Each structure stands twice: as structure tokens, then as C-alpha cells.
Chains A and B, each alone.
Chain A
């Protein structure tokens, strides 16, 4: 990742953000290689799918976070919004709504929280850090208040489908009557993440809203003078982030088949770390969905690999913290050249 200095003079080599992405991808592959040696069980289909499943929640949050970070903002509320969306869905199911509409309701609740973030930031002119910090506390408080801080369980099997189901699962009945899993299948959350990342990348690169998101983060005043509706663009980004947090909440709570109002604490920091490792700049104007996905997987693989190598959760935190700082530092060195 550090052998990139001086390459910028050679025209045929990728430069700028694509270079960053390439180096991040290289880091990811190196990590996978390293962990394959430390733990023989790491490089298996089963574990690969586990990583996919574990990363999907952070990945979904990171898509929304990337949109917001490119506008030059930040969304600290996603972890709490995730919990609140889950609570809304859980209560809706308990009130007798079928699973699908209840989940839609939860995602709408998440989008609404994001919309409020956007309004507070643009109309009340509160900085994104403070506005979403407030929403982080409000959403968590509402989630705890609505449930009395108790988990909502017995939501039925259908609620667990999204988080635990998979495509192409192959199970063979053995002679002794026990099923044998030949291929565990591609988990729904992983497919959902890929679909959402593709949609996010498409909106960001090929649609007007994406262009406006970049322009707002690059130079807000220039964007305004050029006729870009800056407020509307920002509100759009925060609403998308809220909706994706809601969706991530559905995936997480469905996997547990229980709604936990305490879930998702500090997830916003993982999502921010994923975006930043993937090359997004907190100053705005720079970032990509593909980069953030690589960033999310770097975090996911690190967690999983360190777990399998028997590293304690505390040491994991330290290592991920160092990775975040290192990624940003290398990016800065390159930008100085």
C-alpha cells in the first residue's frame, strides 16, 4: 500500500481514487492471504459466507455513509436509527402486520429519521456532526422508550427469513435420516448488499443526483451558484443514509429473529471507517461506493480473521483503529505529491 510514491508520473498507471481503491483491494487480498496461513479454517466456503453475512450490515450502512461523507457531512445516527427501525418493525409485527409491510414500515421510519437529519442540517443550519449526534441520542432513546429496553422476541419464522435464508442452498438427505449441507447457499443479506451497492454506485456515477452530491461536497457555494439545489441534495443524501440504516436494521434483527433496542451501538464508527479506508474524504467531494465496500470487507475480514486466530476483541479494536489512521495517512502522503 505504501509503494505508490513516484508512480504518479507514469501515465499508464492508475492515479488518484482508482489507485487508492487498488491499494485497498491489494490490502484486502494480503489480509486474506495472511489469515489463510494463521488459521486453516479461514479460507473455506463456509467461512467466506460467514464473512459476507457479517459484513453485510456494515456494508449497507457504509453505502449511505459514503453518500453523506461525499457531501462533506457525516451521519453519526445510523447505529441508533438501525435499532429504532428494528423496533418499529417489531412493534408492527406484534400489532398484527405481516412481515413484509412491517419491514417496509421500519425502513420508512429510518428514512424519516434521515430526512429529519437533512432538514435540521439545511434549514436550521446545524452542523452535520451535531445534528446527527442529536439524532443518535433521540433515535436510541425512542427505541428504548418504546420497548422499555426489553427485546421483542417470538416474531415468527417469516421474520427470520431475510437474515438467515439463502439462495442455491443444497441439502442432501443422508441414509441415516439427517440432512447434510452440501453448499450453504449465498445468504440473502449478501445479495441485498450487492444489489444496494450497485444501485448506490449507479446513482452516484450515472445520475444527476450523484453529480450534485459530489459538487456540493467539493464546493458548496459553487454548486449553489451553478444552480444546484444544495439543500435538496443534502436532504436526499441523509434520507438515503437513514433508509439504508433501516434496511441494515432489518437484516440484523432478522438474523437474530429478535428485535434488540440495544443493537447497533458504535456501528456508525465502523461505517465511517469503511468509507474512509475506501478513500472517501471527510472534507467532501471524494469517495466511491466500490471503495467503501472494499473498506467494509477489510474491516470484516480483519474481525473474522483475528477472531479465528484467537485474538481478543480488545486487541481487534486497537488493530482496526491503527488501520483507519494508516489508510488516511497513506492517502494524505499521496495527495501531497
Chain B
């Protein structure tokens, strides 16, 4: 997988990213890349800087230093709006839904469909949203209810539908299954693999080692704001990753495991 991609330019290249809040260095000189059709797991403790790094890529946070290239083109991401223009979509851990609006209104928030007079095209947004949501969950009803009234799973489906409806090239998934039950988690895993097959690059933030080993092609571990290692998933096992997450180093005497999980 990786070898085949090596000749292609990376979809996303983040190099030497810095972010600090006053004296706190949240991200220190982190570089990471992502190829089309690849899932890269971003791992680390709470506060290791992984969410911060991903928020920089999604335009929600402006870095203090470093460069981001998307498809080889330098991307200056000053707002989520800018990131979306580069095809970078994010499924936030908080879902980022406006509780008083309904599913369609949330799905198209900030990118409303309009009639030729510039009015909101509610009818078209409603049918498009219905199609997009039913693809993920055929039983999706209550499209007209404010999302505050929907279940956690339904809310998650809206957040996912919003990310993929607009033809994302790069997808950032921040703990996409944290609020879900087993069947919905399986649905998200299936979806991740399907999107990967379509050539979308995915950054997956997760604490769930099962998800990581099932879905990821590579993992990148952060510790105290630094990238302490990027590995092909075949080369590491669960203990190696835990050691990186906790200590920031590999176990003594580590050698690439070469697929012997």
C-alpha cells in the first residue's frame, strides 16, 4: 500500500507545525503526511497535541509556524471555510451541530443551497439531505426535528453526512465512534473503508486500539506536542503503541515487526 503510494505526491503534507498558547507548547515541530486512499491514525494522550494538530488542518486553529501543502499546493488555512475550499472536511468530536436547527439546516450550514433569486432553497436542501442521510442510515426519520431532539447516533450520522456530502478529499475524524453503540460503530468502520477505497485520505483520531488496528494503514503517535513516531501498522503491535503513547519511546530492543501482529 505504502510502496505504491510512494511515487505519488502526498495529499496532505504538514511540515514543522508549531502551536503554543502563552508558555504552553501544544504542538512542537510536527510533520506528517497523508496519501490518497490511506488511513493514518493519530494517537496520543489527552493533551498530547493531536486534536490541536488536526484543528490546525481543519482551519479551526491558526498555527504559529509551519507549512501545510494540499496536493502539493501551499494552503494558508485561516478559517474552517478556507479548509473546506481545499476539500478538507472534519467530523468533530463535539459534532459541531446547531441544536435549534434541523438535520438539513445543519448539513448545509455555511454552504446553503439557494434559488436563483438568492433565497434559501429549502425543498432541495431537504431532499438532498434526506438522500445523504438515508445512505448512511436507511431508517433516518425526523428530518424536520431540531437536532437537539435526536439520538446521539442520529446526530453522529448528520455530522458524517455533512463531511462526505461535499466530496471531501481529506477527512479528519475526531473520535467518530466515541458516542456510538456497537452496530453504529461497525457502520462507521465500513464507511471509513469505503471512503478509503474511493481514494479519500483520512486522519483518524481514536483511543480505541481495535479501530486503529482494523482501519489504519499507518499510525502517528504524539507525546507532549511532538511526533514520537510514524509507523506502518504492520511494523508495530499494541504494546509498542502504548509505550509510545505513555513514555514517548519504543520498547527497548524494538525492531520492525514486519506484519507479524
Contacts and interface: CB of A to CB of B under 8 A. Distances in A.
B99 A226 contact: no
A172 interface: no
Determine the main DSSP class of B at the interface with A. loop
B96 A215 contact: no
Main secondary structure of the interface of A (DSSP, over half): helix
B259 interface: no
A140 B112 CA distance: 40
A215 B109 contact: yes
Interface stretch (B8-16, B77-85, B183-191): B77-85
B81 A285 contact: no
A214 B106 CA distance: 11
Interface size class, chain B: 20 to 34
Contact of B96 (A16, A206, A214, A225): A225
Contact of A207 (B81, B96, B120, B146): B120
Q: Give the residue among A206, A219, A226, A228 with the most B Cβ atoms within 10 A.
A: A226
Contacts of B167: none
Interface in A202-248: 206-208, 211-212, 214-215, 217-219, 221-229
Contacts of B90: 225
Interface in B76-122: 79-81, 84, 90, 92, 94-101, 105-106, 109-112, 114, 118-120
A211 B107 CA distance: 12
Nearest to B113: A208
The winner among B79, B96, B109, B119 for most chain A CB atoms within 10 A is B109
The interface centre, meaning the residue of A16, A207, A211, A212 with most chain B CB atoms within 10 A of its CB, is: A211
A220 to B, nearest CB: 9
A211 B81 contact: no
B97 A222 contact: yes
Given A211-B112, A219-B97, A225 B120 contact: no
A286 interface: yes
Interface residues of A, number: 22
B109 A211 contact: yes
Interface in B172-203: none
B75 interface: no
B164 interface: no
B98 A219 contact: yes
Contact of B109 (A206, A217, A226): A226
B60 interface: yes
Contacts of B97: 219, 222
Q: Which of A217, A222, A223 has the most CB of B within 10 A?
A: A222
Contacts of B94: 221-222
A286 B120 contact: no
Contact of A218 (B101, B110, B119): B101
A140 to B, nearest CB: 34
From B80, B94, B98, B111, name the one whose CB has the most chain A CB atoms within 10 angstroms.
Answer: B98
B101 to A, nearest CB: 6
B100 A218 contact: yes
B51 to A, nearest CB: 13
Given A214-B98, A221-B96, A227 B118 contact: no
A282 B53 CA distance: 35
A211 B80 CA distance: 18
Chain B CB within 10 A, most for which of A224, A227, A286: A227
B7 to A, nearest CB: 34
Nearest to B81: A227
Contact of A286 (B96, B100, B112, B162): B100
A210 B89 CA distance: 24
A219 B99 contact: yes
Contacts of A16: 146
A44 to B, nearest CB: 41
Given A224-B79, A225-B60, A229-B81, 4 more contacts: A211-B112, A218-B100, A226-B110, A227-B81
18 contacts: A207-B118, A207-B119, A211-B120, A214-B101, A215-B101, A215-B109, A219-B98, A221-B96, A222-B98, A223-B109, A223-B110, A225-B80, A226-B80, A226-B96, A226-B162, A229-B81, A285-B99, A286-B100
**Which 10 pairs of residues, A with B, have the shortest CB-CB distance?**
A227-B110, A218-B98, A285-B100, A222-B96, A218-B100, A227-B81, A226-B110, A226-B109, A225-B96, A215-B98
